[in-house]
């Protein structure tokens, strides 16, 4: 188990609310926490803080988490790097680990899950929880996530998203009106 009074974490995420919530949760567990909203700020803080744990969001404006991982790893070779994302896939999991991440968690991940992974990786546990996804999302879930990612990239423009997806606008609206399928 990690010594909480000596542990430091760097949280890199462009979502201020999510990042702030995680920072408060880590702080309540006696961690020293710094927050970064983008890659440039993260690299500066990495040099100053020398964190034990680095949480990196996969999708951020500018340089994304995958681009940032090699720089973080070269600056802090001993830190545990965990990628957090709402757009999880096996391909990005493999890419993240090839680039130097120790682990990959899908959002929403809570602090207890993150610390369980941190402890497992720190102790050299080859079977750290989630080293590979414990369950694969259904095709319906993957489709729903992809549609929402394209819609986000189109800034909510349904007509443009429908064109990019190659489906009729009304079909897209029907799909969007449904609740997200389960895992």
pLDDT of residue 2: 44
Mean pLDDT in residue range 167-174 = 91
**DSSP secondary structure letters along 138-152:** PHHHHHHHHHHHHHH
pLDDT of 22 over the 80 cut = yes
Which structural domains are found in the chain, ordered by start? 4-122 (3.40.50.2300), 139-177 (1.10.10.60)
pLDDT of residue 163: 93
- Of residues 179 and 143, the one with the higher pLDDT is 143
Cα separation, 175 vs 7, whole angstroms: 45
Q: Interhelix angle for 139-153 vs 169-177, to 10°?
A: 120
pTM over 0.85: no
Question: Three-state DSSP class for 158?
Answer: helix
Q: Mean pLDDT lowest for which of 110-114, 125-129, 163-167?
A: 125-129
pLDDT of residue 3: 46
Over the stretch 114-132, which tens digit does the pLDDT of each residue have? 888 888 887 775 555 444 4
The count of C-alpha atoms lying within 13 angstroms of the C-alpha of 12, restricted to the half-sphere facing its C-beta, is 32
> Distance between terminal CA atoms of the chain?
31
pLDDT of residue 177: 83
- Of residues 89 and 14, the one with the higher pLDDT is 14
pLDDT of residue 170: 92
Please give the share of the chain, as a percent, with pLDDT higher than 70: 85
pLDDT of residue 178: 79
**Which residue's structure tokens are 């319906």?**
140
pLDDT of residue 84: 85
pLDDT of residue 162: 93
Q: What are phi and psi of 134, to 5 degrees?
A: -75, -25
Most confident range (mean pLDDT) of 15-19, 55-59, 60-64, 161-165 is 161-165
Neighbours of 78 (CB within 10 A): 9
């Amino acid at each position: 188990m990690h010594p909480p009074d000596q542990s430091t974490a760097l949280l890199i995420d462009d979502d201020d609310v999510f990042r702030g919530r995680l920072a408060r949760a880590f702080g309540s567990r006696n961690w020293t926490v710094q927050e970064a909203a983008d890659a440039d700020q993260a690299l500066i803080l990495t040099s100053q803080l020398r964190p034990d744990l680095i949480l990196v969001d996969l999708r951020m404006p500018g340089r994304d988490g995958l681009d940032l991982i090699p720089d973080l790893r070269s600056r802090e070779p001993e830190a545990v790097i965990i990628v957090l994302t709402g757009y999880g896939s096996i391909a990005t999991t493999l890419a993240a680990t090839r680039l130097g991440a120790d682990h990959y968690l899908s959002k929403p991940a809570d602090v207890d899950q993150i610390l369980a992974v941190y402890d497992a990786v720190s102790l050299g546990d080859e079977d750290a929880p989630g080293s590979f996804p414990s369950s694969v999302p259904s095709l319906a879930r993957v489709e729903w996530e992809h549609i929402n990612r394209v819609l986000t990239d189109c800034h909510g423009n349904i007509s443009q998203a429908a064109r990019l997806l190659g489906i009729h606008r009304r079909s897209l609206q029907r799909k969007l009106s449904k609740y997200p399928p389960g895992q």
